[in-house]
Amino acid sequence: MRRQVLTGTAGVISLVALWEGYKLLAPDDGVVVAGMTVLPRANDVAMPHLWDMAARAAAPVTSAPGADPLWLAVGQAAAFTLGVAAVGWVIGVTVGLLTATLMQRFRTAESALLPWVVLSQTVPLIALAPLVRRWGSQLEIGAFAWQDWMSVAVIASYLAFFPVSVGALRGLSSPDAVHVDLLRSYGVGWWRTYSTLRLPAAVPHLLPAVRLAAANAVVGAVVAEVSIGLRGGIGRMIVEFGASASADPAKQWSPIAGAVVVGLVAAGVCVLLSRALDRYRVSEVS
């Protein structure tokens, strides 16, 4: 534990040293060879000092009176994106588990579904986002009306379900023949075999898949916010602040840091989940 804290701190410090070291040593306009920039610019617009970023984060968002400090606005946007990504993650994990279960249960379902599952990930997100939004906006059932954030969550789940369905399929098929025979000799049906044997046995395969799904959900949410044009999230904020980068270069780094924090929180939740399922992670005994 102590060792992990030390290596973590060392990692952050070396990153800071790298940034500031490069900024100190590299020429302001970068290194250009034959008209091509091979090393990035190190001037204050492209690479502000870290302390400038920190100071900017503490200052108000805009010069308008009564504006929130930047860090607070970023925090709210990050929480919003995290919430949308979490919804997407939950949907993605559920759908992934269901497709894997279906594929494990029926051989034909595996040969019918698996190619589509793989194919689904080749559709570019940018092409998908406006489609999802348009389809969603036509949905209106009673008092329920489709919101833009739901489109973002759907796209996040679209990226999240893939690793789960592939990992869960492997996991659900992983029990030893001797275990399957044993459960069969007990005369129990498919569902009891699934719940007492296949699902617990799938956990070691599921946990890395679920972690990957969390990362995918965050990336999916951030990118989908931008391509759908959803306000209030961190992705949109990065683009907005990036537009005014020449006037206020330190400002856009706050939402970028916010996006990193969202990713870290998502990864942290997955670590907690792994801890909770620790007893299922033991290696197989003979």
List residues binding another protein (CB under 8 A).
176, 178-179, 181-188, 192, 196-197, 200, 203, 279-280, 282-286
Q: Minimal distance in Å, beta carbon 285 to another protein?
A: 5
* 3-state SS assignment for residue 266: helix
Nearer to another protein, 41 or 179 (CB): 179
Instruction: Decide whether 183 or 234 has the Cβ nearer to another protein.
Output: 183
Taking the complex as a whole, how short is the minimal distance between the CB of residue 5 and another protein, in angstroms?
Answer: 29
Burial of 259 (0-12, 13-18, 19+ CB in 10 A): buried
Minimum CB distance to another protein smaller for 66 or for 187: 187
CB atoms within 10 A of CB 192: 12
CB-nearer residue toward another protein: 7 or 286: 286
Residue closer to another protein (CB basis): 95 or 188: 188
Residue 192: CB minimum distance to another protein, A: 6
Nearer to another protein, 199 or 261 (CB): 199
**Cβ proximity to another protein, 124 vs 187, nearer residue:** 187
Q: How far is the CB of 125 from another protein (least distance, A)?
A: 37
The residues facing 145 across adjacent strands are 140
CB-count exposure of residue 129 (10 Å: 0-12, 13-18, 19+): buried
Q: Which is nearer to another protein, 102 or 199 (CB)?
A: 199
The distance of closest approach from Cβ of residue 24 to another protein in the complex, given in angstroms and rounded to an integer, is 54
**101, 172 contact by CB (below 8 A):** yes
Return all residues near 211 (Cβ < 8 A) that are at least 6 apart: 267, 270, 274
Q: Show Cβ contacts of residue 274 under 8 Å, excluding neighbours closer than 6 positions.
A: 207, 211, 281
Radius of gyration (Cα) for the chain, nearest Å? 24
CB of 97 to another protein, least distance (A): 18
DSSP lists the bridge partners of residue 236 as none
Question: Cβ 71 to another protein, closest distance in Å?
Answer: 44
What is the residue-wise DSSP string for 187-253?
A: T--HHHHIIIIIHHHHHHHHHHHHHHHHHHHHHHHHHHHHHHT-SSSHHHHHHHHHHTTTTSTTTTH
CB of 181 to another protein, least distance (A): 5
Which helix (H) or strand (E) covers residue 182, if one does? helix 177-185
Report which of 235, 247, 237 is spatially closest to residue 70, judged by C-alpha positions: 237
Residues 6+ apart with CB under 8 A from 278: none
